[in-house]
Structure 1
Amino acid sequence: MAAAVDMVQRRAVEPDWGRLLNDAIARWVADALGRAPIRPDDYARALTHGSTAHATYERLEFLGDRVLGLAMAEWLYERFPAESEGALSKRFNALVTGAVCADVARAIGVVPHLRLGKQARDDGAGDSDNVLGDVMEALIGAFYLDHGHDAARDLVRRLWGTRIDAQVRVPRHPKSALQEWAAANNRRPPEYSIVDKSGPGHAPRFTVRATIGRLASAEATGTSKQEAETAAALALLAQLGG
């Protein structure tokens, strides 16, 4: 009997770690996103990677990607009323990449709150652009479900504000710019080849070489083939003075 009473007493004083963890996330969400969560479980899910045994961010990422896209398209349409669809698309594509979403996630302090399995953490998933970009979109999805479209639109404008302000001119994609440089200088079109691929599935690393005939080449690394190609094109442009 005494043992049973002791067990009940110990349970009464033991902290509810799950509740405390969600309370910590709720406080962080209120600070980082500007509004206290009504549905804290959604934010916890948005921070949960597939390497855990719990519900993950994937469905919220799917939703948040669309919310971000609509908010950004609406913003650019208003902000640059004289620009063509092509110019707006270039601005849009430069602002919603996984790397940009990951930078926003780092800026608001996502990393310490990620829920990762041990192997994923050991593999560096906590600093992976792929993971952080997905989580940022999932957080936007959770915020949208919590507060609606107008609040989610305002959140995107606040978090991306300095980035859109930095786009004084329509950005040129480095691969397009390198292609144009080659054509203007009567050179062969640039070619891209994968030099190396490493890392686990959730945090791959690609090294790509960009070349223009025998004239010049440059290598760069990224978390996807496309990202590495873009970085290699940018490096080659800098080498060529383009």
Structure 2
Amino acid sequence: MAHAGQRVSEDAERDSRLSALEEALGHRFCDASLFAASLRHASYAHERGREPGGGIDPESESNERLEFLGDAVLALVVAEALYAAKPDWQEGELTRALHAIVEGRSLASLADELGVGPAMRLGRTEESSGGASKPKVLEDAMEALIGAMYLDGGLDPVRRFVAARFANALAADATPVERDPKTELQERLMRVAGEFPTYRLTNDTGVEGDDARFSVEVVSKGEVLAVGTDRTKRRAEKAAARQALTRVPEDGEAG
């Protein structure tokens, strides 16, 4: 009986965390399964998928598909907000502001502020290693939550969320100092080499949730400047560009 009582207490605590998270998001989910899926890390989903008994466990799908969707939806809504708020900004300024708002550290910090980590479902190993506070786990979950909000209520709840949570960034008078590494590398190489860099996928492990699934080379004039690895091809490209920037000075030849 003590065990059953403990389970009831844990369930009540989780329900309280989920309710608080919905309040922080400014959206109450009509489809609770979307909300649950957005908080289900791949490690937890993989464990559930190995449970005996046959059939398909509804909790064996991770939040990775929602993360993919949320990444695109967030970029669209932030771009839309910047376009409306900054009629005098040109494409380059809008692009830099967009990347600064949706970049990983910004999303991870926001997820931490909203209490996303304690509400997540993690596998036993991931949980014991502090997964609920890992920036990449939080970033991915934040994107998955946005994807779930979109499927549950369309663009309006995402627009409200962006307006509330990114108000300062959207109201900033100047573009951010920190720039998207791919944009920065492209502009530097145009100045020093007269051509855009190219990105080549060199490896894909095919393992979902693998933080080093994709390996990408960034190349200029036939020379590999750097290699980046990450769980998505886009992030691997950014990692490669960031590393390449250490070899390409603002003025002068790549070294």
| Matched AA of 1:45 | A
Distance in 2 separating the partners of 1:166 and 1:234: 26
The answer to whether the Cα contact below 8 Å between 1:125 and 1:202 also exists between their aligned partners in 2 is no
Distance 2:154 2:185 in 1: 42
The letter of the residue matching 2:26 is: G
* Paired residues of 2:185 and 2:241 also in contact (CA < 8 A): no
Structure 2 partner of 1:74: 80
> Which stretch shows the higher mean deviation, 225-234 or 111-120?
225-234
What is the CA-CA distance between 1:65 and the residue it aligns to?
Answer: 2.0
Q: Counterpart of 1:28? A: 20
Mean alpha-carbon deviation: is it higher for 80-89 or for 48-57? 80-89
Deviations 1:130-185 (A, max 9, x none): x2222101111222233332122111221222333446125544576578789989
Match in the other structure for 1:140: 146
TM-score normalised by L of structure 2: 0.62
Q: Which whole-Å CA distance do the structure 2 matches of 1:21 and 1:107 have between them?
A: 18
Alpha-carbon displacement from aligned partner over 1:15-66 (angstroms, at most 9, x marks no partner): 6578636622431223311233333332221111011122321232233223
How far apart in 2 are the matches of 1:17 and 1:165?
Answer: 43
Three-state SS of the structure 2 residue aligned to 1:35 is coil
Moved more, 225-234 or 96-105: 225-234
Q: 2:67 aligned to 51, 54, 61, which one?
A: 61
Give the alignment's Cα RMSD to 1 decimal: 4.5
The aligned residue for residue 88 of structure 1 is 94
Query: Structure 1 residue 164 and structure 2 residue 156: aligned?
Result: no
Please say if residues 85 and 170 of structure 2, whose CA atoms lie closer than 8 Å, have aligned partners that are also in contact: no
Could you tell me which amino acid in structure 2 is paired with residue 37 of structure 1? Answer: F
What percentage of aligned pairs have identical amino acids?
A: 34
Moved >4 Å (runs of 4+): 10-19, 174-185, 201-205, 222-237
Structure 2: tracts of 5 or more residues without a match? 49-58, 193-207, 213-229
Match of 2:40 in 1: 48
- Mean alpha-carbon deviation: is it higher for 148-157 or for 57-66? 57-66
Counterpart code for 1:151: P
- Mark the structure with the bigger radius of gyration: 1
Aligned to 1:128: 135
Inter-partner Cα distance in structure 1 for 2:7 and 2:124: 23
CA 1:234–1:32: 2 relative to 1, 3 Å = farther
TM-score norm. by structure 1 comes to 0.65
Q: Contact conserved, 2:67 with 2:147, CA < 8 A, in 1?
A: yes
Deviations along 1:215-242, one digit per CA (max 9) or x if unpaired, are xxxxxxx9965565666678899xx999
Cα distance in 1, alignment partners of residues 184 and 86 from structure 2: 22
Deviations 1:91-125 (A, max 9, x none): 22222223322222112121111211022234443
**Matched AA of 1:28:** A
Alpha-carbon distance between aligned partners in 1 of 2:125 and 2:93, rounded to the nearest angstrom: 42
2:155 pairs with one of 146, 149, 155? 149
More displaced 10-residue stretch of structure 1: 157-166 or 131-140: 157-166
Which has the higher mean CA deviation after the structures are superposed, 143-152 or 42-51?
143-152
The equivalent of 1:103 in structure 2 is 109
Q: Which amino acid aligns with 2:117?
A: V
